[in-house]
Amino acid sequence: MILPEEFLINLKKGIYMASKNIVVIMGGRSSEHEVSLVSAQTVIDSINTDIYNIIMIGITKDGQWKLIDQIGHLKDGSWVKSRTSAYISPDTDKKELCIIRDNHVEYVDIDVVFPVLHGMNGEDGTLQGLLELARIPYVGCGVLASACSMDKFYTKTIVDSIGIRQAQYVGVRRAELKSMDDVAARVEKELTYPVFVKPSKAGSSQGVSKAEDREELLAALRLAAEHDSKILVEETIVGRELECAVLGGWEVEASGVGEILAADTFYSYEAKYNNADSRTVVDPELPEGKTEEIRANARAIFKALDGYGLSRVDFFLTDETNEVVFNEINTLPGFTSISMYPMLWEARGLDKKALVQKLIDLAMIRYDA
């Protein structure tokens, strides 16, 4: 790997003028900050350094943009103490990275950006808006798809419009929690216990709880409100947890189906990342026709949300009726060693290096279209 410090020195000598510069952005002001850093390492290891000079930018939890000048600094976390800042200029057609080091500004051309930011302030269309202003090609969904997919309220509205079954739900705003009993009564009128309570715009199961009664519902609502001002209370779907990866631009491919075997009552953040008993299975045995139904629904949902590049679409398969029920979509799914998205494509013969290159190619195709 060509690291930014060495790269900047050599750039001044004109050594890398024929190569392209890719900026990988990670971290962020999100509850999924740590997951993003792990995903970014996988992406960085998969980028073809014969083609690209890799420039790493880390966004701290309080929103500071830092140049990460060595992969070791990413791994040990010392990059957060760096005094070297790095910003993307929003000026149209400049396509520049501004690096501020010891009160000196260096400008580096950007060919493409690979955002590896999960959750709010990165996966929600905000960063994508900056890149659109700057007219810089970037990997992944655009502003509309990112914003709508991040917000579970709007995802449900759009998926309702194409007639795909999803869990019944009640929407709650944080401001309504001043009258907790009124909120609980409204939920109980529409749904039966147990219910799941989710922040509308959080990911990696952060802030998600299962409530068996009113007392647990009130606690779950308070927890979800710590993560977002909008909260979703959903009916419990008893069934298998299944996921499908989509990839493409104007033409969309769907992978096979993967299954989550959670070591908990649901696939919580703790079960997902800290419990070794949680497992993922690629190409599980499903009832006849269900794999193709899930793949078709995943493509349809991705298109309805104006998706581009990549997404992971999650479903349930109900225990009693084998009904496919849409759960949620993630427009920047994890790239960690246990993440389903790259595993599903590897099962289809597309390894991580080929997958990352395909995503970069799609970013350039969209820009040139």
Q: CATH no. for residue 174? A: 3.30.1490.20
Is there a domain that residue 214 lies in? yes
Same domain, 246 and 205: no
Mapping DSSP onto H, E and C, the string for the chain reads CCCHHHHHHHHHCCCCCCCEEEEEEEECCCCCHHHHHHHHHHHHHHCCCCCEEEEEEEECCCCCEEEECCHHHHHHCHHHHCCCEEEECCCCCCCEEEEEECCEEEEEECCEEEEECCCCCCCCCHHHHHHHHHCCCECCCCHHHHHHHHCHHHHHHHHHHCCCCECCEEEEEHHHHHHHHHHHHHHHHHCCCCEEEEECCCCCCCCCEEECCHHHHHHHHHHHHCCCCEEEEEECCCEEEEEEEEEECCCEEEEEEEEEECCCCCCCHHHHHCCCCCEEEECCCCCCCHHHHHHHHHHHHHHHCCCCEEEEEEEEEECCCCCEEEEEEECCCCCCCCCHHHHHHHCCCCCHHHHHHHHHHHHHHHHHC
pLDDT for position 271: 47
Same domain, 201 and 222: yes
Q: Final residue of a domain: which of 235, 253, 286?
A: 235
Same domain, 351 and 326: yes
Is there a domain that residue 213 lies in? yes
Is there a domain that residue 287 lies in? yes
Is there a domain that residue 179 lies in? yes
What value, to the nearest 5°, has the Cα angle with vertex 155 and ends 249 and 160?
105
Same domain, 54 and 127: yes
Same domain, 34 and 114: yes
Same domain, 250 and 133: no
Is there a domain that residue 22 lies in? yes
Domain count, the chain: 3
pLDDT for position 130: 96
Per-residue pLDDT of the chain (369 residues; tens, 9 = 90+): 445 555 555 554 444 444 899 999 999 998 889 999 999 999 999 999 999 999 999 999 999 999 999 999 999 999 999 999 999 999 987 899 999 998 899 999 999 999 999 988 899 999 999 999 999 999 999 999 999 999 998 999 999 999 999 999 999 999 999 999 999 999 999 999 999 999 988 655 678 999 999 999 999 999 999 988 999 999 999 999 999 999 999 899 999 999 998 765 544 445 454 545 568 899 999 999 999 999 999 999 999 999 999 999 999 999 999 999 999 999 999 999 889 999 999 999 999 999 999 999 999 999 986
Same domain, 126 and 262: no
Same domain, 247 and 228: no
Q: Final residue of a domain: which of 203, 218, 235?
A: 235
Give the pair of three-digit tokens for residue 31.
Answer: 């509850």
Whole-number Å distance between alpha carbons of 343 and 175: 41
* pTM score, whole prediction: 0.88
Same domain, 127 and 9: yes
Same domain, 197 and 158: no
Sheet with 85-88: strands ordered across: 104-109, 96-101, 85-88, 65-68, 52-59, 20-27, 112-116
Half-sphere exposure of 158 (CA within 13 A, CB side): 21
Give the pair of three-digit tokens for residue 297.
Answer: 């629904």
Give the pair of three-digit tokens for residue 94.
Answer: 């400049």
Is there a domain that residue 143 lies in? no
Q: Final residue of a domain: which of 216, 235, 254?
A: 235
Q: CATH no. for residue 348? A: 3.30.470.20
Whole-number Å distance between alpha carbons of 112 and 108: 12
| Dihedral of the alpha carbons of 311, 312, 318, 319, in degrees to the nearest 10 | 170
Same domain, 229 and 122: no
Whole-number Å distance between alpha carbons of 83 and 88: 17
C-beta separation of 90 from 133 below 8 A: yes
Residue ranges making up the domain that contains 281:
149-165+238-368
Same domain, 115 and 212: no
Is there a domain that residue 279 lies in? yes
Whole-number Å distance between alpha carbons of 268 and 154: 23
pLDDT for position 368: 86
Is there a domain that residue 144 lies in? no
Dmax (CA) for the chain in angstroms is: 70
Q: CATH no. for residue 46? A: 3.40.50.20
